[in-house]
Amino acid sequence: MAEFSFNARAFCSSLPSQPGVYRMMNVAGQVIYVGKAIDLKKRVSSYFQKTGLGPRTQLMVSQISGIETTVTRSEAEALLLENNLIKTLTPKYNILFRDDKSYPYVVLSGHRFPRLGFYRGALDKKNHYFGPFPNAGMVRESIQLLQKVFRIRTCEDSVFSNRTRPCLLYQIKRCSAPCVNLVAEDAYREDARDAALFLQGKQTEVLESITKKMREAANFQEYEQAALFRDQIQSLRKIREKQFVDSGRALDADVVACIAENNGNGRVCVNLAMIRGGRHLGDKSFFPQNAEGYDLPSVVEAFLAQHYLNRSTPHLIIVGEKIQREALQTLLAEQSGRKVAINSNPIGDRRMWLDMATENARLALEQMLSRQASQEERLQALQQALDMPGLGRIECFDVSHTLGEATIASCVVYDNFSMRASEYRRYNINGLTPGDDYAAMRDVLSHRYHKITEGEGRLPDLILIDGGKGQVGVAQEVLVELGLNDANLLGVAKGEERKAGLEQLIFPGKQKPLQLPKDHPGLHLIQQIRDEAHRFAIYGHRAKLGKSRTSSSLEQINGIGAKRRQSLLARFGGLKGVLTASIEELQQADGISRALAERIYKELH
């Protein structure tokens, strides 16, 4: 038993036999574990028994220096509080799942001529939403397929309201051009209805509806229209055959499968498969932190709580483990305003979905472990090449601009054998001489590391600079000025003809650079991190450049002030619309005369 700064037996005896949440803390006052209980006295007391505790729990108990509890009215309320505390405090011994952004949807707007689009965020009752989808790629692919079959508009309202001629999508048969009345309102609404039915999984109903319209058109000898319906039917059948695994029933469910390495002693993967309208929309794999040593039911329970609370939930959740589900079902039902069932013993089609999700979890875990083994090999090789045995965390910097315009500096982070995208940062570089990369590097390093001198954050094991001796020299000056003389610094300079594999590694204060062999695993790791910093900087630079040029190109035209610029951008849905507009269309905007329209057209082309 551990030595505690409080009397554990006396503390436990004072606890009530009621539902609640407990927080365990170490000597530094940090919360290391958060748990819930139906009976606080029994649950907390169980941690201080002499037998029955696993090695991980014993280690945690040995670090406990204090416990705080909160009594709740029910187990469901305790579950909600536990989940909120875990997400806020990220305790060391709790299973932690990365809190992803909200999932994307396909939206069909409630307009007179509904718009088909990509949506992420809070749902609005006036529109129709389909999903969620496991990733943005699936949403965009679905939109493209629906455009091809049903020819629903995807343009923004500002563009739709101001069109005077059909756009390119009409020419390539991806839109029926309701903006210029080339399709009857009733016909368009039927297409929108069919698109909604298809997204709901009612493919047979859609096919029957279109087949009926095809026959009617043929009977009236409207052969061109009949041919259009025939093409729709063929496209729909191909989509149904190729795009989705179809159960034949309009089932909405999420399927959660869990696999662990080495019979539960290693890394864990949770696979989430989404079934909407009986169609398998795809799946997503999650790799929780701190899950080693936990049994699979505990991992699944943690996933369900952290993933679904405060998020849209389907009617049915299928899981592969026997879990304590009553409190979670109650909470999810209250949250969604309808019954939510958690099924841990599926049969028939539902068992097929679970088997598929389990196999995908196994494959994802194998791939992750393979990648990790490769990363471990690369990091070990780099440690040896640089003589840095403790090397783990690397922060890499790059500067991007176009002839000094829209300068952006990036910082990417490599830690624990992978890139840490959530820790990436971009820095806008302003007020410096355009094109002065040395000054930009000085600025970003000063911003990044001055907080360390104030006791915030920690210095990485290696600071990697995308640049040669000059950049490394500036970086060294900044670190010395900040009092961080012991920081490990390395520059990576492009070799002869800027070819990959010929990079030179620049150490501060050393004349001769280090050049590793092309096939050296350590060099491959440096290239990976350097390339990611470059990509991240370029992406931010282009966004900043596009934003600055969007406003400046119109501002530079004589006679275009803020009001006229706003009028043009609103009428044509942005600069892209202005660029494609004719002189006659430009003239129709508020405050734009014929002469001014001609001047705008001339300046922009």
Count of residues in the chain: 605
Asked if residue 332 and residue 286 are part of one domain, the reply reads: yes
Q: Is residue 478 part of a domain?
A: yes
Q: Residue 421 and residue 415: Cα distance in Å, rounded?
A: 10
Q: Residue 197 and residue 376: Cα distance in Å, rounded?
A: 49
Question: At which of 517, 545, 573 does a domain end?
Answer: 545
Question: At which of 180, 209, 242 does a domain end?
Answer: 242
The pairing of strands 425-428 and 462-466 is unpaired
Q: Which residues of the chain have pLDDT under 70?
A: 1-6, 50, 99-101, 201, 235-250, 263-265, 402-406, 495-498, 541, 543-553, 555, 573-574, 576, 605
CB 364 within 8 A of CB 330: no
Asked if residue 205 and residue 143 are part of one domain, the reply reads: yes
What CATH number is associated with residue 269? 3.30.420.340
Q: Is residue 424 part of a domain?
A: yes
Q: Residue 426 and residue 475: Cα distance in Å, rounded?
A: 17
What CATH number is associated with residue 579? 1.10.150.20
Angle of CA points 259, 261, 382, to nearest 5°:
130
229 Cβ partners below 8 Å, 6+ apart?
A: 210, 211, 213, 214, 217
Q: Is residue 79 part of a domain?
A: no
Q: What is the predicted pLDDT for the residue at 453?
A: 81
The set of long-range contacts for 433-439, using a CB threshold of 8 Å and a minimum separation of 24, is 433/404, 434/401, 434/403, 434/404, 434/405, 434/407, 435/401, 435/403, 435/404, 436/404, 437/399, 437/467, 437/471, 438/470, 438/471, 438/474
Q: What is the helix (H) or strand (E) element at residue 537, kind and residue range?
A: helix 521-555
Asked if residue 230 and residue 148 are part of one domain, the reply reads: yes
Q: What is the helix (H) or strand (E) element at residue 274, kind and residue range?
A: strand 268-276
Asked if residue 540 and residue 435 are part of one domain, the reply reads: yes
CB 18 within 8 A of CB 78: no
Q: What is the helix (H) or strand (E) element at residue 207, kind and residue range?
A: helix 203-219
| C-alpha to C-alpha distances, 61 to 38, 83, 301, nearest whole angstrom | 20, 21, 22
Asked if residue 407 and residue 354 are part of one domain, the reply reads: no
CB 565 within 8 A of CB 556: no
The pairing of strands 316-319 and 341-343 is parallel
Question: At which of 325, 349, 366 does a domain end?
Answer: 366
Q: What is the predicted pLDDT for the residue at 548?
A: 55
Q: Is residue 282 part of a domain?
A: yes
Q: Is residue 580 part of a domain?
A: yes
Q: Residue 510 and residue 538: Cα distance in Å, rounded?
A: 30
Q: What is the domain count for the chain?
A: 5
pTM of the model: 0.67
| C-alpha to C-alpha distances, 428 to 98, 405, 421, 478, nearest whole angstrom | 28, 11, 18, 18
Q: Is residue 530 part of a domain?
A: yes
The first and second tokens of residue 168, run together, are 């390119």
| C-alpha to C-alpha distances, 565 to 435, 501, 538, 547, nearest whole angstrom | 30, 49, 28, 14
Q: Is residue 87 part of a domain?
A: no
Asked if residue 522 and residue 577 are part of one domain, the reply reads: no
CB 393 within 8 A of CB 415: yes
What CATH number is associated with residue 25? 3.40.1440.10
Asked if residue 214 and residue 147 are part of one domain, the reply reads: yes
Asked if residue 398 and residue 537 are part of one domain, the reply reads: yes
Q: What is the predicted pLDDT for the residue at 245?
A: 43
| Structural domain range at position 334 | 253-366
Asked if residue 531 and residue 500 are part of one domain, the reply reads: yes
Asked if residue 532 and residue 483 are part of one domain, the reply reads: yes
Asked if residue 280 and residue 218 are part of one domain, the reply reads: no
Question: Which DSSP string corresponds to 306-330?
Answer: HHHTTS---SEEEESS----HHHHH
Q: What is the predicted pLDDT for the residue at 43?
A: 92
Give backbone dihedrals phi and psi of 238, rounded to 5 degrees, phi first: -65, -40
Question: Which DSSP string corresponds to 114-170?
Answer: --EEEE-SS--TTSEEE---SSHHHHHHHHHHHHHHH----S-HHHHTT-SS--HHH
Nearest to 397 by CA among 383, 389, 386, 408: 408
CB 468 within 8 A of CB 438: no
How many Cα neighbours within 13 Å face the side chain of 22?
Answer: 24
Q: What is the predicted pLDDT for the residue at 406?
A: 67
CB 348 within 8 A of CB 286: no
| C-alpha to C-alpha distances, 190 to 20, 113, 116, 206, 255, nearest whole angstrom | 53, 11, 14, 10, 33
Q: Is residue 361 part of a domain?
A: yes
337 Cβ partners below 8 Å, 6+ apart?
A: none
The set of long-range contacts for 191-195, using a CB threshold of 8 Å and a minimum separation of 24, is 191/150, 191/151, 191/152, 192/108, 192/114, 192/150, 192/152, 194/150, 195/108, 195/116, 195/146, 195/149, 195/150, 195/152
Q: What is the predicted pLDDT for the residue at 247?
A: 46
Asked if residue 419 and residue 522 are part of one domain, the reply reads: yes
